[in-house]
Amino acid sequence: MLISVTTFLAFAPLILESALQAQYLTPFAASLGIGIMITTAILILLLPAIMVAFLRINSSRITQKVQ
């Protein structure tokens, strides 16, 4: 999480830059920065929820086979 936040913050000056030379890199930096934050949110929130659901389904199947 800390690495993702610092990477996003590293791209922030380039995203906020208004110089003509930076206009080509601003969309690149914005897409990378936002993509890193979205991916981090998915990995931290969604992946554990999917794992719990998968383990609950499998444990109920195993208990049904045993009975």
Residue 25: CB atoms within 10 A of its CB come to 13
pLDDT in tens, the chain (67 residues): 889 999 999 999 998 998 988 888 999 999 999 999 999 999 999 999 999 999 998 887 777 776 6
Phi/psi region, residue 20 (left: phi>0; alpha: psi -120 to 50; beta: rest), is: alpha
The tokens describing 4, both together, are 């993702």
Domain segments of the chain: what residues?
A: 2-66
Cα(53)–Cα(44) distance, integer angstroms: 15
- Confirm whether pTM is higher than 0.95: no
